[in-house]
Amino acid sequence: MSKLPLGAAPAAVPTASPALAMLGVNLMVFMATLDMSIVNVALPTLVTVLDTDFAAIQWVILSYVLVIASLLLLVSRLGDMRDKKRIFSAGLVIFLIASLCCGLAPSVGWLIAFRAFQGVGAAMTQALGMAIVTQIASPSSRGRALGFIGGTVAMGLMIGPPLGGVLIGFFGWRALFLLNVPVGIVALWVVARRMPALPPVRTGERFDVPGAVVASLTLGAYCLGMTGMQRNGFTDPTSLALLAVAAAGLAGFIAIERRASQPMLDLSLFANPLVTLPLCMAVLVFITGASGFIMPFFFQSAQGRSVTEMGLLMMILPASMAVTAPVSGSLADRFGSRGISLLGLVVLLGGCLALGTLTARTPWWGYLLRTLPVGLGIGIFQAPNNSAIMGQIPPHRLGVGSGLANYARVFGQSTGLPLVGTIFSALVLTSGYTGQRADFTSAPPDALAAGVAGVFRWLGALLVVAIGLAVLAWRVESRRRAAEAQAPRDQAAG
């Protein structure tokens, strides 16, 4: 299989209005991230209003990201086989209908089901967003264009918490989902009018249905097992059996993909360490990012803050991401992605270690100083890392490349949410809480704060691993560049 030369970019598809076409993509990205950040803020409210518990309420988020994770690579393959614009538009319509259903959900069970339906639409758009931008943008501006996507993600995350607090206070939780409808209609109009047709580069390819089914079952078993442990304990036989099924499913998925003539996930891409290492780094970073869903419990239950205060505090992290994400993409275009993404990881590690010192009595400005490096680090890291991945993907695999980059994020979230929840549960239980499992709204403030701080110390250890992978990727790229520079001299000497 051919691949692009080191640092090369696929040719752009000419269009009369690339900026407006990319605006449609960014509006959908904004809507999806706004929806996620608003839901995070609403979790404590939903626990009370819908009469449920900590373990169950996670599935309002998990059902969404789990469906995305299950469909992302399958839709990416579809994007390499069909017109990307049509798939993106269909996903946008599904997302709008599902958002309306979420806003009308009568119970937590229905809300979880409609969130899963919403995940179908999100998967159809997120899987192809970066592929569409990569095709539309000129090669010299690819990093900047992807950086704007990172900035849009940060903007959605930044606006979500304070807007969520206001909407919950004035209109109730249903308004959080109904807000997507007018924004989505604008996005659909822009995509229909301004995005060019994006037909496949290569024809005659087929779906890998067995691989998609096994991947979905594997992720579902993992998430059910981890959340089951939070409710029933870490020796619960059913939860342990589900985790064993997940491990067997992972092995089965790899075996299926190796034998498939046209696999959902082309494992040969992972033979290139400059694809594999950045993907692993992204997974670790987004496992870290999954910690955001426990912060509302810290602010409301441990510190007694109002929803509005909580929303303002939680916008600090995405605001710092919004400042750095577009700039880091431009810097990657000019200076290369490796050093800048490594810098982002180092800054992110410093922020996680600082958050590992939180207490129930930490003032607002103390939280601000601790969380600011986390947002800066993610913003610095994300766009250069995505640009590095997409620069190594062959043109006829751009859909899969975009899907892989997005899958690293969604896989990090879908595995990180139950992992963070399980670590948090264990730490709260060992900090003096003796109440009912999976219901921490009545836990002592110091126990909740100890659980949150401990989670960030564990996540810091994962980031040390990510930094090691970044250093390794930098060395691999340096050796390749040296070998490419030496090759013409060897040929001339011969």
What distance in Å separates the CA atoms of residue 78 and residue 124, rounded to the nearest whole number? 9
In 3-state terms the chain splits into helix, strand, coil percentages (rounded to 5) of: 80, 0, 20
What distance in Å separates the CA atoms of residue 392 and residue 405, rounded to the nearest whole number? 12
What distance in Å separates the CA atoms of residue 223 and residue 19, rounded to the nearest whole number? 39
What distance in Å separates the CA atoms of residue 259 and residue 108, rounded to the nearest whole number? 41
Nearest alpha carbon to residue 415 among 281, 294, 296, 286: 286
What distance in Å separates the CA atoms of residue 454 and residue 452, rounded to the nearest whole number? 5
**pLDDT (0 to 100) of residue 463:** 94
Question: What is the DSSP annotation of 302-358?
Answer: IS---HHHHHHHHTHHHHHHHHHHHHHHHHHHHH-HHHHHHHHHHHHHHHHHHHTT-
Structure token pair of residue 410: 């969604």
**pLDDT (0 to 100) of residue 487:** 67
Residue type for position 369: L
What distance in Å separates the CA atoms of residue 322 and residue 225, rounded to the nearest whole number? 35
Structure token pair of residue 225: 């097992």
Helix or strand (DSSP H, E) at 131 = helix 108-136
Q: Is 172 helix (H, G, I), strand (E, B) or coil?
A: coil
Nearest alpha carbon to residue 382 among 151, 161, 160: 151
Helix or strand (DSSP H, E) at 218 = helix 209-232
Burial category of 273 from C-beta neighbours within 10 Å (exposed 0-12, middle 13-18, buried 19 and up): middle
What distance in Å separates the CA atoms of residue 10 and residue 307, rounded to the nearest whole number? 46
CA 210, 212, 216: angle at the middle one, nearest 5? 120
Output the CA–CA distances (angstroms, integers) from residue 102 to 159, 173, 214, in the order listed: 20, 10, 28
Residues of the chain with pLDDT under 50: 1-16
Structure token pair of residue 310: 């909580």
What distance in Å separates the CA atoms of residue 172 and residue 307, rounded to the nearest whole number? 12
Instruction: Give me the phi and psi of 293, to 5 degrees please.
Output: -75, -15
What distance in Å separates the CA atoms of residue 200 and residue 173, rounded to the nearest whole number? 41
Nearest alpha carbon to residue 220 among 422, 414, 416: 414
**pLDDT (0 to 100) of residue 202:** 56
Domain ranges of the chain: 18-196+264-488, 208-263
Structure token pair of residue 417: 């949410």
Structure token pair of residue 144: 């900047």
- Helix then strand count (H, E) for the chain reads 17, 0
- Give the gyration radius of the chain's Cα atoms: 22
pTM of the predicted model as reported, rounded to 2 decimal places: 0.70
**pLDDT (0 to 100) of residue 470:** 92
Structure token pair of residue 298: 């810290």
Burial category of 182 from C-beta neighbours within 10 Å (exposed 0-12, middle 13-18, buried 19 and up): exposed
What distance in Å separates the CA atoms of residue 195 and residue 218, rounded to the nearest whole number? 36
Residues near 489 by beta carbon (within 8 Å), at least 6 away in sequence:
none
**pLDDT (0 to 100) of residue 143:** 63
The gap from C-alpha 107 to its chain's centroid, in whole angstroms, comes to 27
What distance in Å separates the CA atoms of residue 74 and residue 400, rounded to the nearest whole number? 9
Residues near 433 by beta carbon (within 8 Å), at least 6 away in sequence:
440, 443, 444, 447
Structure token pair of residue 47: 């626990």
In this structure, what DSSP letter does residue 433 have? -
What distance in Å separates the CA atoms of residue 324 and residue 381, rounded to the nearest whole number? 9
Structure token pair of residue 454: 């401990």
In this structure, what DSSP letter does residue 259 have? H
What distance in Å separates the CA atoms of residue 95 and residue 470, rounded to the nearest whole number? 35
Does CATH number 1.10.340.30 belong to domain 18-196+264-488? no
**pLDDT (0 to 100) of residue 8:** 44
> Over the stretch 118-143, which tens digit does the pLDDT of each residue have?
989 988 887 777 667 766 766 556 66
What distance in Å separates the CA atoms of residue 226 and residue 58, rounded to the nearest whole number? 11
Structure token pair of residue 465: 């691993």
> Over the stretch 24-67, which tens digit does the pLDDT of each residue have?
787 887 887 777 777 877 777 787 788 777 767 778 887 887 78
Q: Are 294 and 425 in contact (CB under 8 A)?
A: no
Q: Are 470 and 345 in contact (CB under 8 A)?
A: yes
Structure token pair of residue 322: 């919004």
